[in-house]
Structure 1
Amino acid sequence: MSANPLRFIQLTDTHLSDPADGTLRGFNTAQSLAAVVEHIRTHEPRIDGILATGDLSHDGGTPSYRRFVQLLAPLDAPIYCLPGNHDALNIFSCALKGSRVHSGGRLLADNWQLIFLDSAAPGAVHGHLRPAELARLENALREHPERHTLICLHHQPVPIGSAWLDKLILDNADALFEVVDRHSQVRGILWGHVHQTFDMTRNDVRLLSSPSTCIQFKPGCDDFTLDDKAPGYRWLALHGNGNIDTDIVYIQY
Protein backbone atom coordinates (compact mmCIF):
# COMPACT_ATOMS: atom_id res chain seq x y z
CA MET A 1 0.00 0.00 0.00
CA SER A 2 1.34 3.41 -0.97
CA ALA A 3 2.26 5.85 1.79
CA ASN A 4 0.93 8.69 -0.36
CA PRO A 5 -2.80 9.32 -0.65
CA LEU A 6 -4.54 8.49 -3.89
CA ARG A 7 -5.20 11.74 -5.74
CA PHE A 8 -8.12 12.18 -8.11
CA ILE A 9 -9.57 15.05 -10.10
CA GLN A 10 -13.33 15.30 -10.59
CA LEU A 11 -14.47 16.86 -13.86
CA THR A 12 -18.20 17.10 -14.32
CA ASP A 13 -20.90 18.51 -16.58
CA THR A 14 -18.61 19.43 -19.45
CA HIS A 15 -21.63 19.68 -21.82
CA LEU A 16 -19.65 19.36 -25.03
CA SER A 17 -21.51 19.49 -28.33
CA ASP A 18 -20.98 19.38 -32.06
CA PRO A 19 -19.70 21.57 -33.71
CA ALA A 20 -16.63 22.19 -31.57
CA ASP A 21 -17.54 25.83 -30.99
CA GLY A 22 -20.92 24.91 -29.54
CA THR A 23 -22.09 26.98 -26.59
CA LEU A 24 -24.27 26.51 -23.52
CA ARG A 25 -26.03 29.70 -22.44
CA GLY A 26 -23.49 31.57 -24.54
CA PHE A 27 -20.52 29.76 -22.98
CA ASN A 28 -18.07 27.88 -25.20
CA THR A 29 -17.86 24.60 -23.31
CA ALA A 30 -14.89 23.17 -25.22
CA GLN A 31 -12.80 26.27 -24.53
CA SER A 32 -13.62 26.23 -20.84
CA LEU A 33 -12.80 22.52 -20.52
CA ALA A 34 -9.50 23.10 -22.33
CA ALA A 35 -8.66 25.88 -19.87
CA VAL A 36 -9.49 23.66 -16.90
CA VAL A 37 -7.37 20.83 -18.31
CA GLU A 38 -4.42 23.17 -18.86
CA HIS A 39 -4.65 24.43 -15.27
CA ILE A 40 -4.71 20.85 -13.99
CA ARG A 41 -1.75 19.93 -16.19
CA THR A 42 0.37 22.75 -14.77
CA HIS A 43 -0.83 22.75 -11.14
CA GLU A 44 -1.59 19.10 -10.33
CA PRO A 45 1.70 17.21 -10.70
CA ARG A 46 0.40 13.80 -9.58
CA ILE A 47 -2.98 12.43 -10.61
CA ASP A 48 -4.08 8.83 -10.12
CA GLY A 49 -7.27 9.27 -12.11
CA ILE A 50 -9.92 11.57 -13.55
CA LEU A 51 -13.48 11.08 -12.28
CA ALA A 52 -15.84 12.28 -15.02
CA THR A 53 -19.27 12.32 -13.38
CA GLY A 54 -21.70 12.75 -16.23
CA ASP A 55 -23.22 15.16 -18.73
CA LEU A 56 -19.99 14.91 -20.66
CA SER A 57 -21.99 15.64 -23.80
CA HIS A 58 -24.82 18.12 -24.19
CA ASP A 59 -26.21 16.76 -27.44
CA GLY A 60 -25.37 13.07 -26.96
CA GLY A 61 -23.46 12.90 -30.23
CA THR A 62 -20.46 10.68 -30.85
CA PRO A 63 -18.25 13.65 -31.91
CA SER A 64 -18.73 15.30 -28.52
CA TYR A 65 -17.49 12.20 -26.68
CA ARG A 66 -14.48 11.91 -28.97
CA ARG A 67 -13.77 15.58 -28.32
CA PHE A 68 -13.94 14.95 -24.58
CA VAL A 69 -11.23 12.29 -24.85
CA GLN A 70 -9.12 14.55 -27.09
CA LEU A 71 -9.38 17.52 -24.74
CA LEU A 72 -8.24 15.40 -21.80
CA ALA A 73 -5.26 14.00 -23.71
CA PRO A 74 -2.76 16.38 -22.00
CA LEU A 75 -3.51 14.72 -18.66
CA ASP A 76 -1.50 11.55 -18.20
CA ALA A 77 -4.07 9.71 -16.10
CA PRO A 78 -6.82 7.13 -16.58
CA ILE A 79 -10.34 8.53 -17.01
CA TYR A 80 -13.32 6.93 -15.27
CA CYS A 81 -16.63 7.99 -16.83
CA LEU A 82 -20.27 7.62 -15.86
CA PRO A 83 -23.37 8.98 -17.64
CA GLY A 84 -25.65 11.88 -16.80
CA ASN A 85 -29.10 12.85 -18.02
CA HIS A 86 -27.74 14.64 -21.13
CA ASP A 87 -25.63 11.68 -22.20
CA ALA A 88 -26.84 9.26 -24.86
CA LEU A 89 -26.86 5.94 -23.06
CA ASN A 90 -26.89 3.90 -26.26
CA ILE A 91 -23.57 5.33 -27.47
CA PHE A 92 -21.91 6.49 -24.22
CA SER A 93 -19.77 3.39 -23.64
CA CYS A 94 -19.05 2.80 -27.31
CA ALA A 95 -17.95 6.38 -27.98
CA LEU A 96 -15.74 6.66 -24.89
CA LYS A 97 -13.10 4.23 -26.02
CA GLY A 98 -9.39 4.40 -25.48
CA SER A 99 -6.56 2.71 -23.68
CA ARG A 100 -7.03 4.91 -20.62
CA VAL A 101 -10.79 5.58 -20.76
CA HIS A 102 -13.12 3.45 -18.65
CA SER A 103 -16.92 3.58 -18.54
CA GLY A 104 -18.73 2.47 -15.39
CA GLY A 105 -17.57 -0.40 -13.23
CA ARG A 106 -15.23 0.14 -10.32
CA LEU A 107 -11.61 0.77 -9.42
CA LEU A 108 -9.54 -1.01 -6.77
CA ALA A 109 -6.46 0.98 -5.77
CA ASP A 110 -4.37 0.65 -2.61
CA ASN A 111 -6.94 0.02 0.15
CA TRP A 112 -9.72 1.96 -1.60
CA GLN A 113 -12.60 0.94 -3.83
CA LEU A 114 -14.25 3.48 -6.13
CA ILE A 115 -17.65 2.46 -7.50
CA PHE A 116 -19.14 4.22 -10.53
CA LEU A 117 -22.94 4.08 -10.69
CA ASP A 118 -25.29 4.85 -13.59
CA SER A 119 -28.10 7.06 -12.25
CA ALA A 120 -29.34 8.21 -15.67
CA ALA A 121 -33.02 7.46 -16.31
CA PRO A 122 -33.83 7.32 -20.05
CA GLY A 123 -35.90 10.30 -21.14
CA ALA A 124 -35.78 11.96 -17.71
CA VAL A 125 -33.76 14.74 -16.09
CA HIS A 126 -34.02 13.32 -12.56
CA GLY A 127 -31.97 10.32 -11.53
CA HIS A 128 -32.83 6.71 -10.75
CA LEU A 129 -30.73 3.71 -9.73
CA ARG A 130 -32.04 0.54 -11.33
CA PRO A 131 -32.25 -2.61 -9.19
CA ALA A 132 -29.25 -4.03 -11.05
CA GLU A 133 -27.12 -1.01 -10.10
CA LEU A 134 -28.16 -1.23 -6.46
CA ALA A 135 -27.36 -4.94 -6.48
CA ARG A 136 -23.97 -4.27 -8.07
CA LEU A 137 -23.23 -1.72 -5.35
CA GLU A 138 -24.30 -4.14 -2.61
CA ASN A 139 -22.17 -6.94 -4.05
CA ALA A 140 -19.10 -4.74 -4.45
CA LEU A 141 -19.34 -3.55 -0.85
CA ARG A 142 -19.82 -7.10 0.44
CA GLU A 143 -16.87 -8.31 -1.59
CA HIS A 144 -14.45 -5.75 -0.14
CA PRO A 145 -15.47 -4.81 3.41
CA GLU A 146 -11.82 -4.02 4.17
CA ARG A 147 -11.55 -1.28 1.53
CA HIS A 148 -12.53 2.33 2.13
CA THR A 149 -15.09 3.20 -0.53
CA LEU A 150 -16.02 6.26 -2.58
CA ILE A 151 -19.29 6.03 -4.53
CA CYS A 152 -19.61 8.18 -7.66
CA LEU A 153 -22.78 8.99 -9.62
CA HIS A 154 -24.31 11.90 -11.52
CA HIS A 155 -27.44 12.86 -9.57
CA GLN A 156 -27.58 14.27 -6.06
CA PRO A 157 -28.99 11.84 -3.45
CA VAL A 158 -29.90 14.62 -0.99
CA PRO A 159 -31.62 18.01 -1.37
CA ILE A 160 -29.13 20.84 -1.83
CA GLY A 161 -31.43 23.76 -1.02
CA SER A 162 -32.34 24.87 -4.56
CA ALA A 163 -36.02 24.13 -5.14
CA TRP A 164 -35.80 23.67 -8.90
CA LEU A 165 -32.78 21.35 -8.69
CA ASP A 166 -34.23 19.38 -5.80
CA LYS A 167 -37.04 18.31 -8.13
CA LEU A 168 -34.36 16.71 -10.30
CA ILE A 169 -32.84 14.61 -7.53
CA LEU A 170 -32.10 10.89 -7.43
CA ASP A 171 -35.68 9.66 -7.00
CA ASN A 172 -34.80 6.49 -5.07
CA ALA A 173 -32.08 7.89 -2.83
CA ASP A 174 -33.58 5.99 0.11
CA ALA A 175 -32.67 2.74 -1.62
CA LEU A 176 -29.11 3.97 -2.10
CA PHE A 177 -28.75 4.90 1.55
CA GLU A 178 -30.23 1.57 2.66
CA VAL A 179 -27.26 -0.08 0.98
CA VAL A 180 -24.74 2.50 2.20
CA ASP A 181 -25.95 2.29 5.80
CA ARG A 182 -25.25 -1.46 5.85
CA HIS A 183 -21.57 -0.96 5.03
CA SER A 184 -19.40 1.07 7.35
CA GLN A 185 -16.48 1.22 4.90
CA VAL A 186 -18.24 3.83 2.72
CA ARG A 187 -16.39 7.10 3.21
CA GLY A 188 -17.95 9.36 0.60
CA ILE A 189 -20.51 9.88 -2.16
CA LEU A 190 -19.54 12.17 -5.04
CA TRP A 191 -21.79 13.58 -7.76
CA GLY A 192 -22.20 16.25 -10.46
CA HIS A 193 -25.48 17.49 -12.03
CA VAL A 194 -26.00 20.53 -9.79
CA HIS A 195 -23.24 22.79 -11.20
CA GLN A 196 -22.26 23.99 -7.71
CA THR A 197 -20.37 22.99 -4.59
CA PHE A 198 -21.98 20.99 -1.80
CA ASP A 199 -20.25 19.42 1.20
CA MET A 200 -21.94 17.80 4.18
CA THR A 201 -21.63 14.66 6.27
CA ARG A 202 -24.33 12.04 6.84
CA ASN A 203 -23.60 9.19 9.27
CA ASP A 204 -19.85 9.76 8.86
CA VAL A 205 -20.16 9.62 5.06
CA ARG A 206 -18.94 12.70 3.17
CA LEU A 207 -21.47 13.97 0.60
CA LEU A 208 -19.89 16.08 -2.14
CA SER A 209 -20.89 17.87 -5.33
CA SER A 210 -18.73 19.97 -7.59
CA PRO A 211 -18.87 22.85 -10.05
CA SER A 212 -19.13 22.34 -13.78
CA THR A 213 -16.24 22.92 -16.14
CA CYS A 214 -18.51 25.47 -17.84
CA ILE A 215 -21.49 27.37 -16.35
CA GLN A 216 -22.52 27.33 -12.68
CA PHE A 217 -25.97 27.42 -11.05
CA LYS A 218 -26.52 29.88 -8.23
CA PRO A 219 -27.09 28.09 -4.90
CA GLY A 220 -30.23 28.53 -2.83
CA CYS A 221 -32.54 29.60 -5.67
CA ASP A 222 -36.16 28.54 -6.15
CA ASP A 223 -35.90 28.91 -9.93
CA PHE A 224 -33.17 28.38 -12.50
CA THR A 225 -30.51 31.05 -11.97
CA LEU A 226 -26.98 31.22 -13.32
CA ASP A 227 -24.10 32.06 -11.02
CA ASP A 228 -21.14 34.22 -12.05
CA LYS A 229 -18.54 31.77 -10.76
CA ALA A 230 -15.88 30.54 -13.14
CA PRO A 231 -15.43 26.99 -14.46
CA GLY A 232 -13.95 24.64 -11.91
CA TYR A 233 -13.00 21.18 -10.72
CA ARG A 234 -12.58 19.27 -7.47
CA TRP A 235 -9.46 17.48 -6.30
CA LEU A 236 -9.62 14.64 -3.81
CA ALA A 237 -6.89 13.00 -1.74
CA LEU A 238 -7.95 9.58 -0.46
CA HIS A 239 -5.81 8.60 2.52
CA GLY A 240 -4.97 5.10 3.67
CA ASN A 241 -6.85 5.64 6.94
CA GLY A 242 -10.08 6.48 5.09
CA ASN A 243 -9.88 10.25 5.42
CA ILE A 244 -10.79 12.40 2.43
CA ASP A 245 -9.10 15.74 1.82
CA THR A 246 -10.72 17.78 -0.94
CA ASP A 247 -11.18 21.27 -2.29
CA ILE A 248 -12.57 23.19 -5.26
CA VAL A 249 -10.48 25.11 -7.79
CA TYR A 250 -12.04 27.76 -10.04
CA ILE A 251 -10.29 28.75 -13.28
CA GLN A 252 -10.12 32.30 -14.62
CA TYR A 253 -9.18 32.43 -18.28
Structure 2
Amino acid sequence: MKLIHLSDIHLTENGRKIWETNTFAHFQKAIQRIKELSGIDGIVISGDLSDDGSLWTYKYIDQAFAKIGIPTFCCPENHDNLREFYQGYKPLFCKIKETFELCGWTFIMLNSAMIGMSRGSINPEKLSQHIQQSIGPVAIILHHPPIEQKGWLNRKLLDNRDIFNDIIQHCTNVRLVLYGHTHYHTDSIINGIVYSSAPSIGFAFNPNLPKFEIASGEEGFNVIETKDDSITITTVKLL
Protein backbone atom coordinates (compact mmCIF):
# COMPACT_ATOMS: atom_id res chain seq x y z
CA MET A 1 0.00 0.00 0.00
CA LYS A 2 1.15 3.52 -0.78
CA LEU A 3 -0.69 6.15 1.23
CA ILE A 4 -0.50 9.94 1.57
CA HIS A 5 -1.06 11.36 5.06
CA LEU A 6 -1.58 15.10 5.28
CA SER A 7 -2.94 17.32 8.00
CA ASP A 8 -3.64 20.88 9.14
CA ILE A 9 -4.43 22.55 5.81
CA HIS A 10 -5.94 25.54 7.65
CA LEU A 11 -7.51 26.95 4.50
CA THR A 12 -9.43 30.22 4.89
CA GLU A 13 -12.27 31.71 2.89
CA ASN A 14 -10.99 33.20 -0.37
CA GLY A 15 -7.42 32.34 0.58
CA ARG A 16 -7.01 34.99 3.29
CA LYS A 17 -3.60 34.86 5.01
CA ILE A 18 -3.28 33.69 8.60
CA TRP A 19 -0.19 33.81 10.82
CA GLU A 20 1.21 36.00 8.00
CA THR A 21 1.19 32.84 5.90
CA ASN A 22 -0.53 32.07 2.61
CA THR A 23 -2.07 28.70 3.44
CA PHE A 24 -3.98 28.80 0.15
CA ALA A 25 -0.71 28.84 -1.81
CA HIS A 26 0.66 26.03 0.37
CA PHE A 27 -2.40 23.90 -0.34
CA GLN A 28 -2.03 24.47 -4.07
CA LYS A 29 1.63 23.38 -3.84
CA ALA A 30 0.58 20.25 -1.95
CA ILE A 31 -1.92 19.35 -4.66
CA GLN A 32 0.78 19.79 -7.29
CA ARG A 33 3.25 17.61 -5.34
CA ILE A 34 0.61 14.88 -5.01
CA LYS A 35 -0.02 14.98 -8.76
CA GLU A 36 3.69 14.37 -9.35
CA LEU A 37 3.61 11.11 -7.35
CA SER A 38 2.68 7.74 -8.82
CA GLY A 39 1.12 4.58 -7.43
CA ILE A 40 -0.82 6.28 -4.62
CA ASP A 41 -3.65 4.10 -3.33
CA GLY A 42 -5.31 6.61 -1.04
CA ILE A 43 -5.10 9.92 0.83
CA VAL A 44 -6.02 10.49 4.49
CA ILE A 45 -6.41 13.92 6.09
CA SER A 46 -6.16 14.00 9.88
CA GLY A 47 -8.11 17.17 10.56
CA ASP A 48 -8.09 20.97 10.46
CA LEU A 49 -8.96 21.15 6.78
CA SER A 50 -10.33 24.64 7.38
CA ASP A 51 -9.12 27.35 9.72
CA ASP A 52 -12.32 29.39 9.76
CA GLY A 53 -14.86 26.61 9.15
CA SER A 54 -16.24 28.34 6.06
CA LEU A 55 -18.31 26.60 3.41
CA TRP A 56 -15.95 28.01 0.77
CA THR A 57 -12.96 26.15 2.20
CA TYR A 58 -14.69 22.76 2.23
CA LYS A 59 -15.92 23.18 -1.33
CA TYR A 60 -12.48 24.21 -2.56
CA ILE A 61 -10.69 21.32 -0.85
CA ASP A 62 -13.21 18.75 -2.05
CA GLN A 63 -12.99 19.98 -5.64
CA ALA A 64 -9.18 20.01 -5.54
CA PHE A 65 -8.98 16.36 -4.49
CA ALA A 66 -11.70 15.41 -6.96
CA LYS A 67 -9.45 16.64 -9.78
CA ILE A 68 -6.66 14.34 -8.56
CA GLY A 69 -9.03 11.37 -8.45
CA ILE A 70 -7.29 9.39 -5.69
CA PRO A 71 -9.66 8.05 -2.97
CA THR A 72 -9.55 10.65 -0.18
CA PHE A 73 -10.79 10.26 3.39
CA CYS A 74 -10.90 12.96 6.07
CA CYS A 75 -12.01 13.67 9.61
CA PRO A 76 -12.77 17.10 11.14
CA GLU A 77 -11.03 18.62 14.13
CA ASN A 78 -10.85 21.58 16.49
CA HIS A 79 -10.56 24.28 13.80
CA ASP A 80 -13.21 22.71 11.60
CA ASN A 81 -16.86 23.71 11.69
CA LEU A 82 -18.43 20.42 12.71
CA ARG A 83 -21.95 21.47 11.74
CA GLU A 84 -20.80 22.67 8.32
CA PHE A 85 -18.64 19.60 7.90
CA TYR A 86 -21.40 17.09 8.63
CA GLN A 87 -24.64 18.94 7.86
CA GLY A 88 -23.77 21.81 5.53
CA TYR A 89 -21.67 21.06 2.50
CA LYS A 90 -21.85 17.45 1.41
CA PRO A 91 -18.51 16.53 -0.22
CA LEU A 92 -18.89 15.10 -3.69
CA PHE A 93 -15.50 13.34 -3.61
CA CYS A 94 -13.84 13.31 -0.18
CA LYS A 95 -15.24 10.61 2.06
CA ILE A 96 -16.21 11.17 5.69
CA LYS A 97 -16.25 7.69 7.21
CA GLU A 98 -15.55 6.21 10.63
CA THR A 99 -14.07 3.11 9.00
CA PHE A 100 -13.02 2.04 5.52
CA GLU A 101 -10.87 -0.62 3.89
CA LEU A 102 -7.94 -0.03 1.58
CA CYS A 103 -5.44 -2.57 0.21
CA GLY A 104 -6.39 -5.13 2.85
CA TRP A 105 -6.06 -2.65 5.73
CA THR A 106 -8.88 -1.41 7.94
CA PHE A 107 -8.75 2.32 8.68
CA ILE A 108 -10.48 3.79 11.73
CA MET A 109 -10.96 7.57 11.65
CA LEU A 110 -11.65 9.12 15.05
CA ASN A 111 -13.10 12.55 15.68
CA SER A 112 -11.04 13.72 18.67
CA ALA A 113 -12.32 17.32 18.65
CA MET A 114 -13.78 18.81 21.83
CA ILE A 115 -16.08 21.74 21.06
CA GLY A 116 -14.48 25.00 22.17
CA MET A 117 -11.23 23.26 23.14
CA SER A 118 -7.88 22.82 21.42
CA ARG A 119 -7.13 19.59 23.29
CA GLY A 120 -8.87 16.37 22.32
CA SER A 121 -10.66 13.24 23.46
CA ILE A 122 -11.92 10.05 21.82
CA ASN A 123 -14.76 7.63 22.54
CA PRO A 124 -13.03 4.49 23.94
CA GLU A 125 -16.08 2.24 23.51
CA LYS A 126 -16.43 3.15 19.85
CA LEU A 127 -12.70 2.62 19.26
CA SER A 128 -12.81 -0.84 20.86
CA GLN A 129 -15.87 -1.77 18.82
CA HIS A 130 -14.29 -0.71 15.53
CA ILE A 131 -11.09 -2.65 16.29
CA GLN A 132 -13.05 -5.79 17.21
CA GLN A 133 -14.90 -5.60 13.89
CA SER A 134 -11.73 -5.06 11.86
CA ILE A 135 -10.17 -7.56 9.49
CA GLY A 136 -6.45 -7.51 8.70
CA PRO A 137 -3.96 -4.85 9.84
CA VAL A 138 -5.46 -1.69 11.33
CA ALA A 139 -4.49 1.99 10.94
CA ILE A 140 -6.03 4.59 13.26
CA ILE A 141 -6.37 8.22 12.17
CA LEU A 142 -7.03 11.05 14.63
CA HIS A 143 -5.99 14.66 15.04
CA HIS A 144 -4.65 15.06 18.57
CA PRO A 145 -1.31 13.46 19.57
CA PRO A 146 -1.88 10.26 21.57
CA ILE A 147 1.71 10.25 22.88
CA GLU A 148 4.09 12.81 24.38
CA GLN A 149 5.60 15.31 21.95
CA LYS A 150 8.90 17.19 21.72
CA GLY A 151 9.61 20.45 23.54
CA TRP A 152 6.86 23.05 23.66
CA LEU A 153 4.77 20.95 21.26
CA ASN A 154 3.95 18.71 24.22
CA ARG A 155 0.76 20.61 24.96
CA LYS A 156 -2.97 20.18 24.33
CA LEU A 157 -2.69 16.50 23.53
CA LEU A 158 -5.35 13.80 23.58
CA ASP A 159 -6.83 13.99 27.08
CA ASN A 160 -7.57 10.28 27.42
CA ARG A 161 -4.44 9.08 25.61
CA ASP A 162 -3.65 6.56 28.36
CA ILE A 163 -6.97 4.83 27.70
CA PHE A 164 -6.42 5.06 23.92
CA ASN A 165 -2.99 3.47 24.15
CA ASP A 166 -4.10 0.80 26.58
CA ILE A 167 -6.78 -0.27 24.09
CA ILE A 168 -4.56 -0.42 21.03
CA GLN A 169 -1.57 -1.97 22.82
CA HIS A 170 -3.78 -4.95 23.67
CA CYS A 171 -4.82 -5.41 20.04
CA THR A 172 -2.38 -7.37 17.90
CA ASN A 173 -3.78 -6.08 14.59
CA VAL A 174 -3.19 -2.34 15.19
CA ARG A 175 -0.06 -1.43 13.22
CA LEU A 176 -0.23 2.30 12.53
CA VAL A 177 -1.45 5.49 14.26
CA LEU A 178 -1.51 8.72 12.24
CA TYR A 179 -2.20 12.17 13.69
CA GLY A 180 -1.56 15.91 13.25
CA HIS A 181 -2.19 19.03 15.38
CA THR A 182 1.47 19.72 16.22
CA HIS A 183 2.34 20.97 12.70
CA TYR A 184 5.53 18.94 12.97
CA HIS A 185 6.58 15.53 11.67
CA THR A 186 7.77 12.87 14.09
CA ASP A 187 7.80 9.06 14.10
CA SER A 188 7.86 6.64 17.04
CA ILE A 189 7.53 2.88 17.44
CA ILE A 190 5.93 1.68 20.67
CA ASN A 191 5.52 -2.07 21.16
CA GLY A 192 5.59 -2.59 17.41
CA ILE A 193 3.00 0.10 16.59
CA VAL A 194 4.17 2.99 14.41
CA TYR A 195 3.02 6.44 15.58
CA SER A 196 3.48 9.18 12.97
CA SER A 197 2.45 12.84 12.79
CA ALA A 198 2.26 14.70 9.49
CA PRO A 199 3.93 18.07 8.96
CA SER A 200 1.33 20.75 8.39
CA ILE A 201 0.25 21.89 4.93
CA GLY A 202 -0.81 25.34 6.14
CA PHE A 203 2.11 26.42 8.37
CA ALA A 204 4.76 24.45 10.24
CA PHE A 205 6.13 24.60 13.79
CA ASN A 206 9.36 23.21 15.21
CA PRO A 207 10.10 22.39 18.87
CA ASN A 208 13.58 23.90 18.51
CA LEU A 209 12.15 27.32 17.61
CA PRO A 210 10.38 29.72 20.00
CA LYS A 211 6.78 28.90 20.82
CA PHE A 212 4.45 29.44 17.82
CA GLU A 213 7.21 30.80 15.59
CA ILE A 214 6.54 29.67 12.02
CA ALA A 215 9.06 27.14 10.70
CA SER A 216 8.88 28.42 7.15
CA GLY A 217 9.80 25.82 4.55
CA GLU A 218 9.01 22.79 6.71
CA GLU A 219 5.44 22.43 5.46
CA GLY A 220 4.62 19.17 3.71
CA PHE A 221 2.99 15.75 3.94
CA ASN A 222 4.01 12.12 4.45
CA VAL A 223 4.05 9.20 2.04
CA ILE A 224 3.58 5.88 3.83
CA GLU A 225 4.48 2.61 2.14
CA THR A 226 3.68 -0.80 3.59
CA LYS A 227 5.10 -4.08 2.36
CA ASP A 228 4.80 -7.35 4.26
CA ASP A 229 5.68 -6.37 7.85
CA SER A 230 7.54 -3.14 7.04
CA ILE A 231 6.24 0.44 7.17
CA THR A 232 8.29 3.21 5.55
CA ILE A 233 7.47 6.91 5.99
CA THR A 234 8.91 9.65 3.78
CA THR A 235 8.21 13.38 4.12
CA VAL A 236 7.55 15.44 1.00
CA LYS A 237 8.26 19.15 1.50
CA LEU A 238 6.23 21.75 -0.39
CA LEU A 239 9.25 23.77 -1.51
TM range (shorter): over 0.9
- CA distance, structure 1, for counterparts of residue 97 and residue 47 of structure 2: 11
1:7 aligns with 2:2: yes
CA RMSD of aligned residues (A): 1.7
TM-score by length of 2: 0.93
Q: Could you tell me how far 1:35 is from its partner in structure 2?
A: 1.0
2:133 is aligned with 1:143: yes
2: distance between equivalents of 1:236 and 1:83? 21
- Secondary structure (helix, strand or coil) at the match of 1:59 reads coil
The residue identity in structure 2 corresponding to 1:137 is L
| Shift in Å, 1:11 | 1.8
Q: Please state whether the residue corresponding to 1:74 is helix, strand or coil.
A: helix
Offset of residue 214 of structure 1: 2.2
| 1:14 aligned counterpart, secondary structure | coil
Identity of counterpart residues, as a percentage? 27
Q: Give the counterpart letter for 2:137 in structure 1.
A: H
Unpaired segments ≥5 residues, structure 2: none
1:22 to 16, 28, 44: 16
Rounded Cα–Cα distance in structure 1 between residues aligned with 2:218 and 2:102 = 32
Deviations, residues 44-93 of structure 1 (Å, cap 9, x unaligned): 12222110111100001111111111222331112111112101111212
Q: Distance in 1 between matches of 2:3 and 2:205?
A: 24
Question: Are the counterparts in 2 of residues 104 and 118 from structure 1 also a CA contact under 8 Å?
Answer: no
More displaced, 146-155 or 97-106? 97-106
User: Offset at 1:230?
Assistant: 3.7
Cα drift, residue 251 of structure 1: 1.6
Counterpart check, 1:45 vs 2:38: yes
Map residues 122-161 of structure 1 onto 2, 5 A cutoff.
122-129=115-122, 133-144=123-134, 146-161=135-150
The Cα shift of 1:175 comes to: 1.0
Q: Does 1:244 align with 2:231?
A: yes
- Structure 1 position 65 matched with structure 2 position 53: no
**How many Å separate the matches in 1 of 2:210 and 2:203?**
18
Structure 1: tracts of 5 or more residues without a match: 1-5
Count of residues in correspondence between the two structures: 239
Answering whether residue 199 of structure 2 is matched by residue 204 of structure 1, we say no
Task: Give the C-alpha shift of residue 156 in structure 1.
Answer: 0.5
